[in-house]
Amino acid sequence: MISWQTRRQALYFGTFFVFLVLVIGIPVFISVYRAPTCFDGKKNQGEEGVDCDGSCQRLCKEKISLPVVDWVRPFHVSGNVYSVAALVENFNPNAGTLKIPYTFELYDTSNQLITKVKGSTFVLPKQAFLVFEGGIELTAVPTKAFLKFEENAEWLRASVKDRTLSISDQVLRNTDTLPKLSALIENTAITPARDVEVVAVVSDTKNNAIAASRTIVKELAPNEKKNIVFTWPTPFAKQLEACVVPVDVVLALDMSGSMNDDGGEPPQPVTDAKAAASAFVERLMEDDRVGVVTFADSGTTNRSLGSRHREAFDTINNLMIVSEVGGTNLGEGLRLAVEELNSNRHQDEAKKIIIALSDGLANLPKEPGGEPFALEQAQIAKDSDMSIYTIGLGNSVNRAFLESVATSREHYFAALRRSDLDSVYKEISAAICEHGPAIIDVIPRSAADITR
């Protein structure tokens, strides 16, 4: 049995302990204790990492994929001033960042680093965007560039607001002098849009970017529209020229004995004729097909219609005149060209083109006659939706006849000297190219579009 004195001592100690807890322990605990947060440097409160995921808005870096760079292009602005742009995609569906540092690296033709350009940008979830840096002064010409993102960005759990910024009325003018791109930007939201970044990229019809620029719209009131303008100090019209429709072309070359009449070693004018035709082949687009036929007393298909341009190039360079005597059977050359273009080697979507070069009179076959036979074959080609270009080399041709063989008088070209042939083939290259419009991308975005 516990004595009264023992019970009194226990009561004293208990009262003293309660006093210590109430007066000292609780205040000390209150002053020392810190509730778990997403910034305490500890893995707690259900977090998957230290201060990331779980109940935290910040996401663990291990779960984030860095933005993927689709392309990077340096652009010449004027003088020694350049710009650089990149198309980038963020494949993270629910992750964005308000600031991610990046570095552009620009290299010359020798793969030597010219300069590095550092910057930062924001990234919206699951979106493609453009990164742009301008006004870069360089001492060498950049031919390629790379974009690298740093891995220390703070990625947040986020979504994107419904799209409220729209672009319309895009017009590109003065591409051959001082290019100017104008557009209309509209904020369709019920709240203002601030610090809107707008990047414009002009591409050719093969979707190769040739120019880029950026502007910042400080504020757009709800339902407000504003005109935005991008300008460039140097023309880029020639870069926009691209052939949007492929061509299937057959070169019909005169290999009669007269093509050696200028003499020399190597013999002329056949050597210059082959060089000009070979250069024409080199200017063809990747999707074009080319074939080669020759004619003298008879005709020969030297290269069937196909996409291997280098093989056609070699075929032309290896052509030789077989006989120093004989006639010119242009009609047989045209017949073989028509045969190739009507074969299964022809692309359904391609234009059919025949380019026939001759330096003399069509005098074979004897029946029905060289010119009537050639005109008959030319008409078959025209009835098959083929365009015929004729080239008369020298002063011994029947111009009126070659104009009749051609699709129209404008399809006939006179090369009085063999040195004129290259420029004639260049004119025909331009004539058979069906140009398409430039591709214009104007992309607006704002960091305020990130919803957390």
Q: What DSSP assignment string belongs to 317-352?
A: HT-----SS----HHHHHHHHHHHHTSTTS-TTSEE
CB proximity list for 71: less than 8 A, separation 6 or greater: 86, 87, 209
β-pair type (439-445, 193-203)? antiparallel
pLDDT of 31 higher than 70: no
Poorest-pLDDT segment among 67-71, 152-156, 161-165, 299-303: 161-165
Same fold, 161-240+438-451 and 247-432: no
**pLDDT for res 235:** 86
CB 385 within 8 Å of CB 367:
no
Confidence of residue 18 (pLDDT cuts 50, 70, 90): low
Mean pLDDT confidence for 233-254: 82
CB 78 within 8 Å of CB 234:
yes
Q: What are phi and psi of 270, to 5 degrees?
A: -60, -35
Q: What is the mean pLDDT of the chain?
A: 90
Q: What percent of the chain stands above pLDDT 90?
A: 73
Higher-scoring residue by pLDDT: 206, 267: 267
Q: How many CB atoms lie within 10 A of CB 224?
A: 15
Higher-scoring residue by pLDDT: 162, 306: 306
pLDDT of 242 higher than 60: yes
Q: Positive or negative, the Cα torsion across 12, 13, 18, 21? A: positive
CB 199 within 8 Å of CB 230:
no
**pLDDT for res 244:** 72
The pTM assigned to this predicted structure is: 0.55
Burial class (CB in 10 A: 0-12, 13-18, 19+), 370: buried
Structural tokens at position 177: 């002098």
**pLDDT for res 220:** 94
| Superfamily per CATH, domain 247-432 | von Willebrand factor, type A domain (3.40.50.410)
Q: Which CATH fold would you assign to the domain 161-240+438-451?
A: Immunoglobulin-like (2.60.40)
Name, of 235-244, 317-326, 344-353, the range with top average pLDDT.
344-353
Mean pLDDT confidence for 116-125: 96
Total length of the chain = 452
Identify the CATH number of the domain defined by range 61-159: 2.60.40.3230
Confidence of residue 268 (pLDDT cuts 50, 70, 90): very high
β-pair type (386-393, 412-415)? parallel
Point out which residues pair with 301 in neighbouring strands: 293
Cα 395 from Cα 402, distance rounded (Å): 13
Query: Quick one: how far is CA 136 from the chain centroid?
Result: 22
Domain segments of the chain as ranges? 61-159, 161-240+438-451, 247-432
Burial class (CB in 10 A: 0-12, 13-18, 19+), 336: buried
Mean pLDDT confidence for 209-213: 92
